Amino acid sequence: MQPTSRNTIFPPKLAVARRIHRREFLALSLQAAAATQFIPIERLQASRGGAHAPRFSAEQRNNLLLAMDEIIPAEGRMPSVSSVGGVQYMEKLSAAYLDIGETITAGLQSLEQRSRKAFGRSFALSTAEQRVQVLRAMEKANEPPSFFVTFRNVVYEAYYTSPRVWRLIGFEFRNSRRRTAPLELFDEKLLARVRRMGRLYREAD
C-alpha cells in the first residue's frame, strides 16, 4: 500500500479504491457494497441508522476513534473517518452482528495490551507513531485473528458510504425504486476531442 503523510502502512484516502482489491474495498454506495460479497447490504443499512445498545466502554470508544483516524486521518479538505460518524458506524455494526462485534472487541483489548507492553502507556496516551506501530504489528501478525482486515474494511465502509465524503469527492449516488436508476442524457460533445484523434489501432486480417 502507498503511504500517507503520517505513516507508512495505510493508503491515502482518495487512492483507496484504486489500491485495494475489489473484494476488499466496499464501493462508494450501499448498492455497490452489496455486490462486493464482503458485508451484505442489510448490514450496511442497519449500521446507518436505528437504535442500538452500546457495545463499547468509553475507553474502547476513544481507542476506536484514535485507531480509525490512523487509517484515515483528516488531510486538506478531507475529514477524518471519525468526524463523519465512523465510530458510530463501527459500534452499530458491532452491536448488530455478533461476529464483527467479537472481532472488534478482541482487537481493542489487544490494542491496549500491546501499547502498555511496548511503550508503558495506554493506547490513548501513545503518540501517533506508536499507535501506528501497534496497528502495523497487529496487521503483520494477524492477531487477534481477522481483526485488522475486518477493522480496516469497516473503516473504509464508514468513510466511503458517508454522503459528506461523496460530496467532497464528487460522487453522486443514484437511487431509485427501479432496478436501475435513470441516468442523465449523454452529452455527445464530450466525445469531440476523441473523434478528432487519429486511429489508435491498425487493421488486421
Q: pLDDT digits over 67-90, tens only? A: 999 999 999 999 999 999 999 999
Round to whole Å and give the CA distance between 32 and 181: 13
Residues 6+ apart with CB under 8 A from 103: 144, 146, 147, 150, 151
Round to whole Å and give the CA distance between 149 and 88: 19
Under 8 Å between Cβ of 159 and 81: yes
Cα 77 versus chain centre, distance: 17
Q: Which residue has the higher pLDDT, 162 or 4?
A: 162
Round to whole Å and give the CA distance between 38 and 187: 35
Round to whole Å and give the CA distance between 147 and 26: 17
pLDDT at 144 over 70: yes
Question: Stretch 167-194: mean pLDDT, rounded?
Answer: 78
Question: Stretch 156-162: mean pLDDT, rounded?
Answer: 92
